[in-house]
Amino acid sequence: MTIAIFLGSLLGAMALGVPIAFSLLACGAALMWHMNMFDAQILAQNTIEGANSFPLLAVPFFMLAGEIMNAGGLSRRIVNFAMTLVGHVRGGLGYVGIMAAIIMAALSGSAVADAAALAALLLPMMNRAGYDTARSAGLLSAASIIAPIIPPSIGFVVFGVAANVSISKLFMAGIFPGLMLGAALWLTWWWLVRKEKIAAAKRATRPEVIASFKDATFALVLPVIVVVGLKFGVFTPTEAAVVAAVYALFVSTVIYKELKLSQLYGLFQSAAQTTAIIMFLVAAAMVSAWMITVANLPAEVVTLLKPLLDSPTLLMVAIMVLTMVVGTAMDMTPTILILTPVLMPIVKAAGIDPVYFGVLFMINNAIGLITPPVGTVLSTVAGVGKVSMDDVTRGVWPFMVAQFIVMFLMVLFPQLVMVPAHWFYD
């Protein structure tokens, strides 16, 4: 009955068009009413405590770093550097997009920010060069979702707080899987364009490659600072977010001199608005998470899934399929906040490493950003690139399938995640 109340109140409120944050509050209130313990003071207290978390301070600073990176010329220099390396091969602009997405993922941690930058910078170039518009938009969409996997990742911060898992370990464990997703896109793009006759760009000379590398050096140094600092304990993930924002601001205003002080207010405002949405979702989710614990809902779910507890692989497959289905209808952050309190006790009962689960769960949620009909990244690329949503959806399918294949390979072979992870954080 408790599960029915939880799902009925949550899905019912969402079906009526209630925003997800308020739906989470309604779900928590419904569970309180069902257990005859409704108290508005407890509701308010848990809402406030939900956002009162030091690790969550990383969210606004990583969001700000992404905004500054795009406005201050860092993204453009990364694209130019990738262009000098692989722009001359068949389908070169696609490889440029993948390389740029991987590097930019280590700067912003936001799939939407990377999608907007890549669509604005590369999609017009790909259209002029004669690439299929739908396929190009699909590739850039799929490449953008590497951002929540490679550190720094806003998604890992939210999951780490919700699941009480080390954010630093999640960051380190996400590096190799993020590169694997990029490799899957690289192979898929090669297969799709291998027979196309598109004029490639002129091969860059060695001086041009060196010049573009020097121009992008300050942008390329940022991910090294973040990863090395986390690896050797120089700073926490929250402090890394501050370092990233301050470094991006310094480079954009003092070194590249492309960001004017008059633009800062708009960037701060944009980052604050996005942060407010995420923080309110986290705060509202804490109410339902607290009630889920009080109502002992995880124990009921564990009982339902008891036959799968003896087979961690089958359990992970079931969880991944569930997350895939939810991801088609819900954005990444709400999915993390709603499913994490329910799934973590099951994962622990089955003896699955929480860091390993967090990486797979995040990959699944990231791919959910490009699964229709909700696909936030698809909408971003369509809007910025002035492409129809139908075209972007049609173009993203082969890349999305490739990423799902990689994800399920990691389910079948956990060593693909855990062995490289131990290289970084042991």
Quick one: pLDDT at residue 297?
A: 66
In tens, the pLDDT along 234-243 reads: 888 888 888 8
Interaxial angle between packed helices 415-425 and 206-231, expressed in degrees from 0 to 180 and rounded to the nearest 10: 80
pLDDT at 46 over 90: no
Residue at 292: amino acid letter: I
Indicate the range of 69-78, 273-282, 298-307 predicted with least confidence: 298-307
In the chain, where are the structural domains located? 54-283+298-425
- pLDDT-derived band at 302, boundaries 50, 70, 90: low
How far apart (Å, rounded) are the C-alpha atoms in residues 387 and 394?
11
The two structure tokens encoding residue 1: 């009955």
pLDDT at 409 over 80: yes
Residue from 192, 198, 152 nearest 171 by CA = 152
How far apart (Å, rounded) are the C-alpha atoms in residues 288 and 277?
17
Residue at 412: amino acid letter: L
pLDDT at 8 over 70: yes
- pLDDT-derived band at 296, boundaries 50, 70, 90: low
Burial (CB < 10 A; 0-12, 13-18, 19+), residue 420, is: middle
Quick one: pLDDT at residue 426?
A: 61
pTM of the model: 0.83
pLDDT at 40 over 80: no
How far apart (Å, rounded) are the C-alpha atoms in residues 29 and 372?
31
Residue from 359, 340, 319 nearest 24 by CA = 340
Q: Residue holding tokens 């942008």?
A: 219
In tens, the pLDDT along 121-134 reads: 888 888 888 888 99
Cis peptide, bond prior to residue 298, ω within 30 of zero = no
Quick one: pLDDT at residue 141?
A: 93
- pLDDT-derived band at 61, boundaries 50, 70, 90: confident
Quick one: pLDDT at residue 119?
A: 87
Residue range 194-213: mean pLDDT, rounded: 81
Torsion of CA 150, 360, 192, 369, to 10 degrees: -80
How far apart (Å, rounded) are the C-alpha atoms in residues 70 and 74?
6
pLDDT at 32 over 90: no
How far apart (Å, rounded) are the C-alpha atoms in residues 357 and 414?
9
- Asked whether the beta carbons of 116 and 70 are under 8 A apart, the reply is yes
Residue from 366, 379, 392, 376 nearest 153 by CA = 366
Helix, strand or coil, per DSSP, at residue 38: coil
Residue at 173: amino acid letter: A
pLDDT at 275 over 90: no
Percent of the chain with pLDDT over 90: 20
- pLDDT-derived band at 138, boundaries 50, 70, 90: very high
pLDDT at 173 over 70: yes
Quick one: pLDDT at residue 362?
A: 94
Average pLDDT over the chain, rounded to an integer: 84
Residue range 273-302: mean pLDDT, rounded: 74
pLDDT at 21 over 80: no
Q: Which residue has the higher pLDDT, 152 or 402?
A: 402
Buried/exposed code over 45-65 (b: 16+ C-beta within 10 A; e: otherwise): ebbeebbebeebbbbbbbbbb
Residue 312's CB is within 10 A of a number of other CB atoms, namely: 18
Phi-psi region of 257 (alpha: psi -120 to 50; beta: other; left: phi over 0): left
How far apart (Å, rounded) are the C-alpha atoms in residues 292 and 80?
49
pLDDT at 51 over 80: no
How far apart (Å, rounded) are the C-alpha atoms in residues 337 and 314?
23
| DSSP assigned state of 57 | G
Buried/exposed code over 242-264 (b: 16+ C-beta within 10 A; e: otherwise): bbbbebbbebbbeebeebeeebb
pLDDT at 9 over 70: yes
- pLDDT-derived band at 55, boundaries 50, 70, 90: confident
Residue range 176-186: mean pLDDT, rounded: 94
How far apart (Å, rounded) are the C-alpha atoms in residues 50 and 46?
6
How far apart (Å, rounded) are the C-alpha atoms in residues 129 and 126?
5
How far apart (Å, rounded) are the C-alpha atoms in residues 269 and 255?
23
Residue range 218-233: mean pLDDT, rounded: 81
In tens, the pLDDT along 87-106 reads: 788 888 889 999 988 988 88
